[in-house]
Amino acid sequence: MTAKELREVALEIPEIEGVHAMKKEELLEAIRKSRGVEKEEVKEEKEEAKEKKEKEEEKKVKKKAEVSAADLKKKIREFRALQEEAVKKRDVRMAKIYKRRINRLKKRTRKAA
C-alpha cells in the first residue's frame, strides 16, 4: 500500500494520532499495533509465499530440462522433412506451421544445452 492509503486506514482508527506527520514505516507499525499483528507474523507470511514461489519455479525448470538436446534435434529433423514435403505439395500453411515448430525447438535446444 502507498503512504496515502495507509494514512486513510490510520485515520479510521481513533487510537492513532498525528497520522499526517508519520512516515510509511511509522504508519505500518501503528496500524499493526492497533490491530494486534506482530511484525514477525508478517515476515513469516512473506517468507512462506516466497518459498512457495521458488518451488513453483523449480518445478517449471525441471519440466523444461527433462527433454535432452539430442531428442529435440531429432524432432527438428523430422519437422524439416515434413516441411520439405509440404513445400513440394505447395501447402504454404503447413510449411509455415512446421517452420514455427522448428524455430521453437531450436530455442529449446539452446536452453537445454
Residues 99, 85, single domain; the answer is yes
The whole domain housing 41 covers 3-62
Residues 103, 89, single domain; the answer is yes
pLDDT, tens digit, 9 for 90 and up, residues 43-93:
677 777 888 888 888 777 666 557 788 899 999 999 999 999 999 999 999
Residues 17, 55, single domain; the answer is yes
**Which three-class secondary structure state does DSSP give residue 13?**
coil
Residues 74, 105, single domain; the answer is yes
83: cell is 516441411
Residues 93, 55, single domain; the answer is no
Residues 23, 56, single domain; the answer is yes
Is the model more confident about 1 or about 62?
1
Give the total number of structural domains in the chain.
Answer: 2
Residues 55, 96, single domain; the answer is no
pTM of the complete model: 0.43
CA max distance for the chain:
81
